[in-house]
Structure 1
Amino acid sequence: MADFLPRSPLSLAPRGLPSRRMAYASPFIALALTLAFGALLFLLLGKDPVAALKVFLIDPLKDRRAIGEVLLKTVPLVLCALGLSVCYRANIWNIGADGQLIVGGIFAGATVLYFDVPGHGVNGTVVLVLASLAGVAGGMFWASLTAALKDKFNANEILVSLMLTYIAQQLMLYVVNGPLKDPNGMNFPQSKVFSSEFLLPNLMSGSRLHAGFVVMLVLVVLMTVFIFRSFAGYRLQVGGTAPAAARYAGFSARRSLWSALMISGGTAGLAGAFEVTGPIGQLLPSISPGYGFTAIIVAFVGRLHPVGTVFGGIVMSLFYIGGEMAQSRLGLPSALGSVFQGMLLFFLLASDTLIDNRLRWRAKAA
């Protein structure tokens, strides 16, 4: 099944400077093709392509509040993509970041609700830290189920992590209809709205962009150091790109499996914690519109590089918000954003495959 996923940019060969340049050019080629075919799609739908692309890509950045919304959506996308990048570099195909995000949100929301009672006497900042740590623990716990089944029974991590996502969705439905349901919520499946002191502080006035964005940027730096400047990161990458060499060097495949999935689950769980203590402010069945799945595209658009995921996250965030604006202003289906995401993934896969084949052909000819 991994054959149907995007080819890792780490697999492009030969390992020379031209191949690296072509690998990093692939996302820009894919983005250009996506916009070209997107313009054609607008034309077929009877819309002015230039005006439609303006609504889709330019209007979401027209003012301070709009920019804040774009950056807000990059937080869960980039956090999930950071962990997925580590997994994919280690050749571990975690597809369940969305489920790990949801369980992280449940753990974080339950923590806030435990303290959000009259006379709690606990500082709001302390509760937010505890909720964030609980979110990380929840995501790691959910990822550990995949790691355990892979480790003990050699179960396919793609199928296991994907199926666990649907179980996580049902778990969310259970808690918001059961133990964490708002008794005064008119029977809606939701928890009570968190008190303002237990919500992440905003970074910009007039915008919903919260302090989680700063944490995300710090994690991008830390993950870059981990991957490229630490022995543990080197060990993970060797295990992913050269398993035989890793075994010869005595690197533990089991340790790499658990490390990669724990990191991935932790960052996804943190994304869930930031969603429930940030823009949502409560537990809802729909805390994620598929951020964990979209983060797969973000990771590969960013070439599995932490800094690159920020670029990929901004692009995907534009597609999310652009799709909503195209629906309200142009009367187009709300699924248009997903169509653009799918086209970007398709063209990215095609570009990587063509570049890979061209490099192999040149290597043989030489």
Structure 2
Amino acid sequence: MKLSLPILLTFTSLILSFSLKAAKGIEEALFTWTDSPSTTLNVIWLVKDKDPTLFLWGQADQKDTQSTNVKRHSFYKGSGLEVCQVQLTGLSPSTGYRIFLGDKEFRARTLPSKRPDRISFVTGGDMMHSPDFHKGGVKAMASRSPHFALLGGDLAYANGQSWERWLDWIEEYADHAVSEDGYSIPFIVAIGNHEVNGGYGKTPKEAPMFYNLFPFPQKLKSYYTIDLYEDLSVVILDSSHTYTIESQVEFLKSSLSSRKDRTHLFALYHFPAYGIMKGGLNSPISKSMRKHWVPLFDQYGLDAAFENDHHVYKRSKLLKGDKVNQDGTLYIGDGAWGVKTRKPGAKEYWYVEKFEPTRHVIEVEIKDNIRTYRAINHDKKVFDEFVDKRDAD
């Protein structure tokens, strides 16, 4: 049977469209940290089952490259995909590296071993109701040229089942989380309810793609601490998605007590302790967090907690002992990176300084030990700012 030219072109177009869709997110490099960011880099990418993968790496200013062993395992049953992971160790601080996946080249930098006078990072969560929303947030982040990102969960909205959504998430992040000079923005990741089949009160087995995709300091443990500089640390917590609030108390106490003298001490997690949606302070999860976690934040002088989940911008007053206190912690975020926003029901909340139903990312700049928090909308404009001078030089 002969096909007419228009039908043949349509058929060819469909095949190409299917092929491009199938290739989306494949061999796109993501860079994360689970160890020293001045001497290590985790490289993560997806390949089709049984396809060979060529991995080469070297310093960006040198022509020589080398290979290394690649760890491979299944991404998700029935996806036909495998996760590839490499941890590069023994790297030089403040140095650019390039990696090759086949004929694709990606670049990333290690951090300096000593914190420079000025650094910045971006944080946010609830990233992808749609790929375009996600891309808007990634571009807003990249416009600030941050050194790294803290991602607070609900990344691909895959609910522990939809592996195809992860391909969109990876594609948009890998393509657009790039600084002006062509270097990818590494990230540190926390878990959210939309990583989990069931959302809350589950175990790692209900979040298979999250735990298969991302490496962690301890296998199948989503809570950990990372020391980014000698005086800057972030504690990453699981807000009752695959571990209970109570089960992380001893870890949290140990992490904070051993870092209480750090000048800049932060926490990253998904569901907020001081939210304004979903029942606000009356949420059972928020109550549990304020009972078990917040007293430790108060005791050890946490500077800021990056919260998510509620699809709105929120910046709290400084809080300590469940009261406004100038020696307290800032609770900021509430997760509206790439989602439809929600409108709070009240005009004011005693514990909140500012809220707005706007898609955003949050830039944190540290300069001369002054912490400046800026909310950046998808038009790359600052619409809120808070300057914390409590540790100023």
Q: Normalised by the shorter chain, which TM-score bucket?
A: under 0.3
Structure holding more strand per residue: 2
Structure holding more helix per residue: 1
Normalization by structure 2: what TM-score? 0.22
